[in-house]
């Protein structure tokens, strides 16, 4: 079964809002086993909207329209849909009394005339209650057996309506489920990752593997079409096992929702460790990512942002001679920063970052993008040298991901087997 | 001139990512005076993609495609566009050497075969350099005079490419000039800001005012259609002057490119000040935003991430009795943190943050979203109490913006007139 998403609203075409409705609905529809091949955004314009609806009717089984159901004259979705289907608009008594009810309980008691427009429905449709606003949703079945679903645009109305009423309805339509697992990889580039599983991708039928590059990470989605969730799990299991074999410890999670920073915090928590950070060019972003995880406070107590040499000496005990001899951006300084952070904070692990994020500050021997990351753990300090490409923001983003992955792999190497069962 | 946006990528259709490229491009195109009537998302599928491109060619003047230019087999945008236009793909020597160059500086020295796919271009096109990745952009003019622009999908590559190369190109296409000024406001909510200028918006013809809500800020774009840039400037000037009168020091810049953190760094630089930060719940994000500005090192030397009470005492000299009596999340602690950070770092200004970002940790008297921000400047410390709504990430984002604006307004109050000329 195919579904097409049509978002109606001039505010989308002007870039005033980001269309989060489309990604929400796309993800939900995928989980319901429906294939989404087209997402369209179009304005509140009769000609263009009816064109888009007609095209969708010609190529998709289910059409979900969001937006344009409001009380203003701009709002045309219902009217245009009715016209396309050659049906009349009729007043729905239930919707009218719900609108009366809605305004009764609220401060704005003045129901303007145009509000009653929202009580009009397309002849022969199924009305879907809106518990968070005045515009009801509509489900219309065409004579050709296609389904058109109309929902209000505001996510605060659309999302609960979809989850409470539309999902149960859609489930009655489909026979199969789409079950998917996510394998998240760090430390391997997108093209290399794909080369490593080219044979698997080339020969795939069901399940399929889809790679996604995400800011220095690669996510592989393994999706199976099956009669039940259990059958889907049985189909994906051997593929996920094979991916684990090929990517080994580069896989930081197979949980859809876990981020790299959560994976690190989870490991630290599991093994009763604490971490501190000492950052120069990343200026707090690394700590910020760790603290992004709710509950990080149990394993992360202190972070140092030591931009100046003075601060590196004062808080981290980096020696003046090291800074003079090797410079602030050097393997030696990174090493002393990591050791110093662990010592000052009394933490069992520490990460340090020193580098040149640019656009200024680069030299021939130390170009923009050169970053040293130090990792202290278990009494040992290791330093890695990176050469990142891109603008300041990109260099810093890659730096943070690489630092998180550095600590993660150090922990995995130390606690290998205990972790394996968890990944 | 009409522009149609086509986002290519299965990850959009699966709802794995929110399509922020479309809203970014829509806003920029609107600012360039181009009408956007359709936005399409489609997968990496030859048949459907070519159908979408053909439809766009039949109804729009300019087509901007993003995504699907990567090295993997999924990536088809260039190949399909060439096929639709009946043109060949040829290797571009410049792009090939740029890819070689890109990989030379990196750790992953293994350029896999599929990377060379990115050096192929559509015959007769104009190549657009990608300074943040390996896939170049392409501008293709069709025989019918339509323009197709191909850009990579990752925003970190697409956004700089669009701003550096595509905007100047698009400007050469239109006869009239769309001149716009941006007025960026902090510390006033979107609906309040709109109410404050409702009369101006209701009566506007040329120039127009368009409000955009952006993560705790409101941006007002004033746009005039004119024969020349100079005429455009004359048209917008009185409107911008009126906005300055109404919003006063809430306006932090009228420069399109200046962010709130840049505005703060610029003020500090201008008045030879230095700043330090002491963060608890924001965990380095505030420092990270400041350090985001190239050249921040001249005014920002040290930052403290003091999650634990121990660290607050050790580095910032917060007294144990204050922590006991008022708690870590209190006006008193925020005050001592700001004073302590300034003292420890020897900086002339300091910002402190302590609060409850959630989702855990809230109580009845100190609910999730309660944040105290302290600002030390000129020997005085002021503390503000905030109650932010939303999830952990949103609370932290609003916290950072509010802290930056707190320091900014303190500086503006102290140096009022000297700054006025600059804003």
Q: Are B132 and A311 a contacting pair at CB < 8 A?
A: no
Q: How far is A92 from chain B (nearest CA, A)?
A: 32
Q: What percent of chain A has pLDDT over 90?
A: 63
A41 vs A52: CA distance, rounded Å: 9
DSSP labels, B47-87: HHHHHHHHHHHHH-SEEEEES--SSSTT--HHHHHHHHTT-
A54 at the B interface (CB within 8 A)?
A: no
Between A212, A284, A301, which is nearest B311 by CB? A301
A296 at the B interface (CB within 8 A)?
A: yes
Q: A135 and A60 in one domain?
A: yes
Between B13, B29, B39, which is nearest A12 by CB? B39
Q: Are A25 and B15 a contacting pair at CB < 8 A?
A: yes
Q: Write down which residue in A121, A142, A171 finishes a domain.
A: A171
Q: Indicate the pLDDT class of residue A419, thresholds 50, 70 and 90.
A: low
The pLDDT, as a whole number, for residue A418 is 59
Q: B73 and B132 in one domain?
A: yes
B15 vs B22: CA distance, rounded Å: 14
Measured between beta carbons, the chain A residues lying within 8 angstroms of B287 are: 283-284, 305
B171 at the A interface (CB within 8 A)?
A: no
Best to test chain B binding among A46, A288, A313, A393 (most B CBs inside 10 Å): A288
List the A251-253 sheet strands across, edge first. A208-214, A217-226, A177-186, A251-253
Measured between beta carbons, the chain B residues lying within 8 angstroms of A387 are: 105-107
- Is A423 exposed, middle or buried (CB count within 10 Å of its CB: 0-12, 13-18, 19+)? middle
A58 at the B interface (CB within 8 A)?
A: no
Beta-sheet pairing, B349-355 with A2-8: unpaired
Q: A181 and A144 in one domain?
A: no
B328 at the A interface (CB within 8 A)?
A: no
Q: B138 and B45 in one domain?
A: yes
| CA-based nearest residue in chain A for residue B6 | A40
User: In chain B, helix, strand, coil percent, each to 5?
Assistant: 45, 25, 30
- pLDDT tens sequence across A347-365: 999 999 999 988 888 888 8
Q: A218 and A366 in one domain?
A: no
Q: A380 and A339 in one domain?
A: yes
Measured between beta carbons, the chain A residues lying within 8 angstroms of B291 are: 281-285, 305, 307
What contacts B206, CB < 8 A, 6 or more positions away? B224, B225, B235
B33 vs B221: CA distance, rounded Å: 12
* Neighbour count for residue A235 (Cβ, 10 Å): 17
Q: Write down which residue in A253, A281, A305 finishes a domain.
A: A253
Q: How far is A230 from chain B (nearest CA, A)?
A: 21
Q: List the end-to-end C-alpha distance of chain A, in Å, as a whole number.
A: 34
Residue-wise pLDDT tens for chain B (423 aa)? 899 999 999 889 988 788 999 999 999 998 888 889 999 999 999 999 999 999 999 999 999 999 999 887 788 999 999 999 999 999 999 888 888 887 776 655 567 777 888 889 999 999 999 988 889 999 999 999 999 999 999 998 999 999 999 999 998 887 777 788 899 999 887 778 888 998 998 888 889 888 777 777 888 989 888 888 899 999 999 999 999 999 999 999 998 889 999 999 999 999 999 999 999 999 999 999 998 898 888 899 899 999 889 999 999 999 999 999 999 999 999 999 999 999 999 999 999 999 998 888 888 899 999 999 999 998 899 999 999 877 787 888 899 999 999 999 999 988 875 565 444
| CA-based nearest residue in chain A for residue B359 | A294
Q: Containing domain of residue B364, as a range?
A: 260-420
A303 at the B interface (CB within 8 A)?
A: yes
- Tell me which residues of chain B, numbers 215 to 274, contact chain A at a CB-CB cutoff of 8 Å: none
Between B25, B107, B296, which is nearest A386 by CB? B107
CATH of the domain at A351: 3.90.950.20
A305 at the B interface (CB within 8 A)?
A: yes
Question: Can you give the C-alpha Rg of chain B in angstroms?
Answer: 25
| CA-based nearest residue in chain A for residue B23 | A15
The pLDDT, as a whole number, for residue A106 is 59
- Is B228 exposed, middle or buried (CB count within 10 Å of its CB: 0-12, 13-18, 19+)? exposed
Q: A266 and A385 in one domain?
A: yes
The pLDDT, as a whole number, for residue A33 is 77
Between A14, A305, A360, which is nearest B295 by CB? A360
Q: A415 and A381 in one domain?
A: yes
The pLDDT, as a whole number, for residue A420 is 54
A123 vs B35: CA distance, rounded Å: 35
Please give the tally of structural domains in chain A: 3
Partnered with residue A185 across adjacent β-strands are: A218, A251
Q: A183 and A154 in one domain?
A: no
The pLDDT, as a whole number, for residue B151 is 98
The pLDDT, as a whole number, for residue B109 is 56
Please state, in angstroms and as integers, the Cα–Cα distance from residue A35 to each residue in A28, A32, B50, B345, following that order.
11, 9, 19, 57
Q: B99 and B51 in one domain?
A: yes
Q: A267 and A235 in one domain?
A: no
A279 at the B interface (CB within 8 A)?
A: yes
Measured between beta carbons, the chain A residues lying within 8 angstroms of B71 are: 190-191, 194
Contact A53, A81 (CB under 8 A): yes
The pLDDT, as a whole number, for residue B231 is 93
User: Per-residue pLDDT averaged across A224-253, rounded?
Assistant: 93
User: In chain A, helix, strand, coil percent, each to 5?
Assistant: 45, 25, 30
Measured between beta carbons, the chain B residues lying within 8 angstroms of A219 are: 16
Q: Indicate the pLDDT class of residue A227, thresholds 50, 70 and 90.
A: confident
Q: For tokens 């505010």, what's the residue?
A: A11
| CA-based nearest residue in chain A for residue B46 | A37
A396 at the B interface (CB within 8 A)?
A: yes
- pLDDT tens sequence across A26-84: 988 987 878 899 999 999 899 999 999 999 999 999 999 999 998 777 789 999 999 99
Between B285, B301, B306, which is nearest A288 by CB? B285
CATH of the domain at B187: 3.30.70.2860
Between A14, A192, A394, which is nearest B156 by CB? A394
User: Per-residue pLDDT averaged across A75-97, rounded?
Assistant: 93
Q: What percent of chain A has pLDDT over 70?
A: 96
Q: How far is CA A372 from the centre of its chain?
A: 29
CATH of the domain at B125: 3.40.980.10
Q: Are B305 and A303 a contacting pair at CB < 8 A?
A: yes
Q: A352 and A295 in one domain?
A: yes
| CA-based nearest residue in chain A for residue B400 | A288
Q: Write down which residue in A203, A222, A253 finishes a domain.
A: A253
Best to test chain B binding among A10, A204, A264, A291 (most B CBs inside 10 Å): A291
């Amino acid at each position: 079964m195919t579904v097409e998403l049509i978002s109606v609203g001039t505010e989308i075409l002007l870039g005033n809002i980001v269309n989060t409705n489309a990604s929400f609905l796309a993800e939900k529809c995928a989980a319901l086993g429906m294939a989404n091949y087209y997402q369209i955004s179009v304005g509140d314009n009769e000609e263009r909207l009816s064109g888009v609806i007609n095209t969708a009717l010609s190529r998709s089984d289910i059409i979900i329209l969001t937006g344009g159901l409001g009380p203003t004259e701009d709002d045309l979705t219902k009217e245009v849909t009715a016209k396309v289907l050659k049906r009349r608009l009729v007043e729905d008594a239930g919707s009218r009394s719900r609108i009366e009810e809605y305004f009764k309980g609220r401060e704005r008691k003045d129901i303007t005339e145009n509000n009653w427009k929202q009580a009009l429905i397309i002849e022969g449709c199924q009305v879907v209650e809106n518990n968070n606003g005045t515009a009801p949703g509509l489900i219309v079945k065409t004579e050709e057996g296609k389904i058109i679903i109309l929902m209000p645009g505001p996510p605060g109305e659309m999302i609960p309506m979809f989850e409470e009423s539309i999902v149960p309805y859609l489930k009655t339509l489909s026979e199969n489920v789409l079950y998917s697992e996510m394998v998240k990889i760090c430390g391997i580039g997108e093209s290399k990752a794909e080369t490593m599983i080219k044979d698997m991708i080339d020969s795939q039928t069901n399940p399929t593997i889809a790679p996604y590059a995400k800011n220095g990470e690669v996510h592989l989605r393994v999706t199976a079409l099956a009669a039940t969730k259990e059958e889907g799990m049985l189909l994906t299991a051997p593929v996920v096992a094979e991916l684990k074999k090929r990517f080994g410890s580069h896989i930081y999670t197979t949980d859809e929702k876990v981020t790299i920073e959560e994976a690190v915090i989870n490991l630290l928590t599991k093994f009763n460790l604490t971490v501190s950070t000492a950052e120069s060019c990343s200026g707090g972003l690394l700590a910020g990512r760790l603290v992004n995880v709710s509950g990080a406070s149990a394993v992360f107590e202190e972070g140092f942002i030591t931009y100046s040499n003075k601060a590196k000496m004062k808080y981290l005990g980096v020696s003046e001679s090291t800074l003079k001899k090797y410079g602030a951006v050097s393997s030696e300084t990174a090493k002393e920063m990591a050791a110093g952070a662990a010592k000052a904070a009394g933490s069992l692990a520490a990460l340090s970052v020193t580098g040149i994020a640019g656009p200024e500050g680069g030299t021939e021997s130390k170009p923009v993008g050169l970053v040293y990351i130090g990792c202290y753990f278990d009494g040992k300090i290791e330093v890695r040298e990176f050469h990142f490409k891109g603008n300041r923001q990109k260099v810093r983003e890659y730096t943070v991901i690489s630092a998180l992955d550095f600590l993660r792999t150090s922990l995995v190497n130390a606690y290998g087997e205990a972790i394996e069962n968890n990944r």
